[in-house]
A and B are shown apart, each in its own frame.
Chain A
Amino acid sequence: MVCLEERSIGMEIKKDLQTKHPVEDLTDDPVIIEQVKRTITLAPLEKILNLARSNSLWPMTFGLACCAIEMMAAGGPRFDLARFGYEVFRPSPRQADVMIIAGTITKKMAPFVKRLYEQMPEPKWVVAMGSCAISGGPFVDSYSVVPGADKLLPVDVYIPGCPPRPDALIHGMLLLKEKVKNPKVVEEKPWKAIK
């Protein structure tokens, strides 16, 4: 059990917590109970960790093709991915949480993509950005292209477009945030993640 202050980010957790507050076991003083209830809330550790994770996903600096430029533009001055806390692009897979597959995966590159994914620490997520990463896109019938990232890795969010606009990438990252924060909901009722 972890305690959180009011008005903190944990406010979201408080809503769905209906169990008896443990402070009621310790004292009968209504003033203290009220004070403690007002300032301290309780939540399962997993939930709090997920909340923290979802608000600072670190993507890996990993551009494959055209979509990588839009990914850079999303990190650039106008779209400013930093507003959501996702601007910390890490060059090393060992420090990253999210792998944004931005571009065409070729058969020559596929083993490296897989190895990079394996080098990332758990928990980890994969975003397939653009039609090449989703299905091979315009190059699907080529002799050297892997038709979609999901042939290699488990993909969490698909962002359509060729290439997707930076706004679309941001939307995709926010959907991933919903998924990270609330894995059960997404597993059972995926439509609930899309508001």
Chain B
Amino acid sequence: MLRTEEFTLNMGPQHPATHGVLRLILHLDGETIVKVEPVVGYLHRGIEKLAEARTYTQVIPYTDRLDYLAAMLNNLGYVQAVEKLMGIEIPERAEYIRIIVSEMSRIASHCIAVGTYALDLGGFTGFMYPFREREKLMDMFEMISGSRMTHSYMRIGGVAADLPEEFYPAIKKFLKEFPSCVDEYDGLITGNEIFQARTKGVGVLSQEKAVQYSISGPTLRGSGVNYDLRKARPYGIYDRFDFEVPVGEKGDCFDRYYCRIQEMRQSHRIIEQALEQLEELPGGPVMAKVPKVLKPPKGEVYHEIEGAKGILGYYVVSDGTTKPYRVHIRRPSFINLDLLDEMCRGWKIADVVAILGSIDIVLGEVDC
């Protein structure tokens, strides 16, 4: 009997389309994928163990380096978890600042997701435009925190400093320009025929599978599940803003990508509202009164926020000393990557890149 033999192809850990040091072992039948085996851990730095030897405040810089594309959101999850553990109420002004910077971080992260997705599918120009907007955001982050990527701006009890004067004109200018920039991405990437041919109907993820496999973020919403923690279980002051949760229909690569594009528009809406309400607030402190040496009471807390890639959870156990007994981080990219095998089966080699790009992983977060 005539039959073909399966063969294995190694992809990574050094590969331009794996977004870092991910390694995939592809089992192929001709060009068709039979099985994909993701091998992770090439960037495992042991942050969870290091956190046990640091004080509560010293853990904040490590959270930056998890998902370095949306560092503010990682800060937010951690500080809110510790605040929940200690029962700290933070000043309203700090709440607004947190919302503004974390939504800016979400836009910056989605800019990279969209730009590199275009690059993965062979469109170099599509990479340039979102990066242009990201640079503007980076400039503003630099004004706020002094650093472009790893901000460590949030503190347990508030934020490090009030927004500087020159930030307001900069963000207003950005907010004015940004909708037309998203239109530009729509024209350049979304509307592109080749892009649509490569993504529409590819790597379909059903609603049931997505929920069963604990998928979260735009990857889950692309499959049509309306689950955004900002709406489902609002944390901080997200219940004060009016925004929608974009949801896909079919659960293919295009839907996941398009969810991100629409989320950028919604984040823009949130920043606009938050900025308006912030400017009406009288000036005041941005830090709650917290002791210099933090000693949370004995206990544990699990807190989740909606990160840029999905649900970002922090589980912090305190034994009453100045250092956390255990910090566990539920990283969305790590869990979303689990289903790559299922999504890729039956597709061709070239589609692996399209499907992987649509999940939008960050290896710093996957490997922790």
Contact = CB atoms under 8 A, between A and B. Distances in A.
| A, B co-complexed | yes
Contact of B65 (A61, A66, A91): A66
A60 to B, nearest CB: 8
A145 B46 contact: yes
Given A65-B20, A66-B150, A69-B112, A109 B13 contact: yes
B123 to A, nearest CB: 14
Contacts of B41: 106, 108
A121 interface: no
Interface stretch (A46-54, A70-78, A150-158, A182-190): A70-78
A73 B65 contact: no
Contacts of A143: 46, 49
A135 interface: no
Interface residues of B, number: 36
A62 B41 CA distance: 16
Given A78-B135, A116-B14, A109 B43 contact: yes
B149 interface: yes
B128 A64 contact: no
Contacts of B138: 73
A78 B65 CA distance: 24
Given A112-B42, A139-B45, A70 B148 contact: yes
B148 A76 contact: no
Contact of B62 (A103, A106, A138): A138
A68 B20 CA distance: 8
A27 B62 CA distance: 73
B46 to A, nearest CB: 4
Interface in B40-83: 41-47, 49-50, 53, 61-62, 65, 68-69
B132 interface: yes
Interface string A101-138: 00110101100100010000000000000000000001
Interface in B1-47: 13-16, 20-21, 41-47
A39 interface: no
A113 to B, nearest CB: 9
B45 A165 contact: no
B135 A142 contact: no
B60 to A, nearest CB: 11
A106 B42 contact: yes
A59 B331 CA distance: 31
B20 A91 contact: no
Given A109-B21, A142-B50, A163-B149, A76 B131 contact: yes
A116 B14 CA distance: 9
Contacts of B13: 109, 112
B14 A77 contact: no
A139 B45 CA distance: 7
B363 interface: yes
Nearest to A70: B149
A66 B61 CA distance: 13
Nearest to B50: A142
The 9 closest A-B pairs by CB, nearest first: A66-B68, A76-B131, A142-B46, A91-B16, A109-B42, A139-B45, A78-B135, A61-B16, A77-B128
